[in-house]
Structure 1
């Protein structure tokens, strides 16, 4: 089998760029994965590879469960994993690129910024290599270099200091194709020619043959299903999935397909109507609070009325942006008024990172909104188990909304309760 993790020493070091280039290069048969709870990078991955990208989160799931998820979707010639932050960041939660690659036995390629340095790069690499003896670092790519001579200096030093790290190549600074876009969601909508140009420029001085050689690994298989078993239910679920509500773990969708007899997808931005025979509506996270996102949905009156009608007697489960839409308003922006809670958009982040729910869940939250009044909140979200925190969930009859994103497959009993099955 073949797989590689692209990691670095921190965020904003070019992991997404190199991952983008490799996915484009291997796009005929590649599966992308994202380590951690990120929703944006998987959208890049899917736009390029034309296959869903899968999150591997060893905070929300245990090691056996992460292995099972990896193997379930590992159906292409090569898998490319994009790391989170720096290689060891997240170890305190057991969810770093180091933790995941060690659990999966997947080799790691480190992307190191070589600008303004040469011998020191080898010293940085030594620190990374010796911090944990069982690390998976097998190769490096040097980024932001100005010339082949600069690369040769660094390569010579690393090869002198290490006999177990391959120097695969280098990436020029100020690549022309990157000036045509910025590293935001524009990449999702980038045309094929631009993606091809970006990939060619990034990979121009990288030994892809050696990279593929490094990618061979022995997969760790899990013999048993490491989750609670369940039976398919003869019910119908409506999943809201569109440009506004797009923050969805791919395995959550696959799990719901396995759990429910019927699954329909609804685009709220196209004013589609939820089927009257639907038993449960799932509204994932995304954006409804910004002007751009709100304008896409503010006139979706048929959708809104079908949701309100559904809420009168049936179940709704909503995350983050879905929670906001169930509320009365976000500042002056009117929502569905299904839950009696108002929100406001703040300038500072309200939550970021992993959280524990007082209901017993582990998950991730990242948002700039907050409730104006928390009097009817039901779940405390805290950074530590049973720690201090603030309300992050609201419930009314069969309607439940939460700021917490979690993975469904390892929370079957919780999901069955809130989904009314």
Structure 2
């Protein structure tokens, strides 16, 4: 059994509370496994910093229900404690009914999706509540009490009773102002017989700085150890551990490895794929990297900010998302790295670039101050930062056959960016639409040479054929280099 830390809405403090719980548990035990519901990259970085283990993303929209179950079971195996951080409010998901059935049918190449039974209608698909139902694990509800007292009972009662399949086992009261305030909250909750598992007083100095895409990542925060020590002390003194610990101990179960594509016997080789990994590029799903390694790739991490050459023997390039706009000047001044990437791509090296990686391959990046910084220049467009946030799940249908997709192939991805390209691709990779009924369809994505560049973040657990095709292209490139 494990717990999901849920909120009654966004901004209740569930991330800080989750980090406090993880920090305390990590001091108690060697193996603590964390999970994050949804497509987030940044919160899992903080989880992993504390636990020294990859944080698993539980996202049935980007992957599938079966994949979520399999990953959860596998990653909980052999650990002392496990904890899941929810997303937004407990029931905030997307309404998927017939669309979800079509989605699974359209993903027939995903072995783990074949034959999967999807609810005829799910109003909160992909929500924290959805994950609690499919994994059959209890929920602790975090309530921001800063602007309420007696009404806390109505909130707790409503969330506990709305769905009888959700087991809300207690509440954590956050931002409690005083002893008098706490007494009012306790009095209101007493008739519900719902345990108060933690009380957090208002904290003005326990905050993580944020910016345009959320929290500032761990690589840019030099005093995290002291911060997490303080969170661990807070957790030790503010939570009811006698009641919490039994919930946090995973139950034994038989779980296999998440399904991954398999290569024909004899094709497994150690092919080097260079992964851009530094302060500018750090948005990667751990499963994506694991799947590439299981296919036979050797992952070589390098820094477009600091390194002047690609790792020796590189046969493929993978640029994840991140914050190239924040470090655009440094990226632009590293001319040797820019030239090395450009020449490798011109020679035909397979290259997969998501969001921030796409921006890096453009002619230039125009930052928030309006300053232009030259980039790799392989794509004839400019990435310009703006105030508008593009955010949401996207259904993507391949508009033509490309490096990684066959025409008509359907996948699901996630967009999250504040930049826009000044020129669209004349032959976009995808036709995108959101999950809403009658949502507009628009073209997106670039392919030139052997580059797949797109704003769309993909989880290879939901589209393993992309990982397999990318690996096969790197294998072919490596063989051609050997012949030369």
TM-score (norm 1): 0.91
**For structure 1, which segment, 253-262 or 35-44, has the greater mean C-alpha deviation from structure 2 after superposition?**
253-262
In structure 2, relative to structure 1, the CA distance for the partners of 1:223 and 1:400 (3 Å cut) is closer
SS at match of 2:173: strand
Alpha-carbon RMSD across the aligned residues, in angstroms, is 2.3
* Unmatched segments (≥5 aa) in structure 2: 97-124, 367-371, 399-409, 476-484
* 2:62–2:458 CA contact under 8 A, matched in 1: yes
Shift of 1:159: 3.4
Tell whether 2:200 aligns with 1:171.
yes
Is 1:266 the equivalent of 2:302?
yes
Contact 2:365-2:375 at 8 Å conserved across structures: yes
Question: In the alignment, is the contact (CA less than 8 A) between 1:67 and 1:220 conserved in 2?
Answer: no
- 2:362 equivalent to 1:327: yes
**Would you identify which runs of 4 or more consecutive aligned residues in structure 1 move more than 6 Å?**
none
| Contact persistence 1:6–1:82 (CA under 8 A) | yes
Matched, 1:76 2:79: yes
* Distance of aligned partners of 1:382 and 1:131 in 2 relative to their CA distance in 1, 3 Å threshold: same
How far, CA to CA, are the matches of 1:203 and 1:151 in structure 2? 19
Is structure 2 residue 126 aligned with structure 1 residue 92? no
Paired with 2:417 and 2:217, the residues of 1 have a C-alpha distance of 21
Matched, 1:371 2:405: no
The aligned counterpart of 1:345 is 385
RCO comparison, higher one (Cα < 8 Å, 6+): 2
Mapped partners of 2:304, 2:170: distance in 1: 45
Q: How does 1:1-400 map to 2 (within 5 A)?
A: 2-27=1-26, 28-74=30-76, 75-92=78-95, 94-162=125-193, 165-175=194-204, 177-178=205-206, 182=209, 184-185=215-216, 188-216=221-249, 218=251, 221-222=254-255, 225-230=258-263, 233-234=268-269, 235-290=271-326, 293-312=327-346, 313-331=348-366, 332-349=372-389, 351-359=390-398, 360-376=410-426, 377-384=428-435, 388-400=440-452
1:296-353 Cα deviation digits (max 9, x unpaired): 322222222221121122210100010011111123221101122222222211x201
Q: Secondary structure at 1:60's aligned position in 2?
A: coil
| Contact persistence 1:35–1:82 (CA under 8 A) | yes
Distance in 1 separating the partners of 2:167 and 2:63? 21
The two structures have a TM-score, normalised by structure 2, of 0.79
Gaps of 5+ in 1: none
Q: Measure, in 2, the Cα distance between the counterparts of 1:402 and 1:47.
A: 28
Shift, 1:199, TM fit:
3.0
Distance 1:411 1:186 in 2: 27
Secondary structure, aligned partner of 1:262: strand
1:249-297 Cα deviation digits (max 9, x unpaired): 111111111113422111111124213522211110011123xx11332
C-alpha separation in 1, matches of 2:79 and 2:425: 50
- The size of the alignment, in residue pairs, is 413
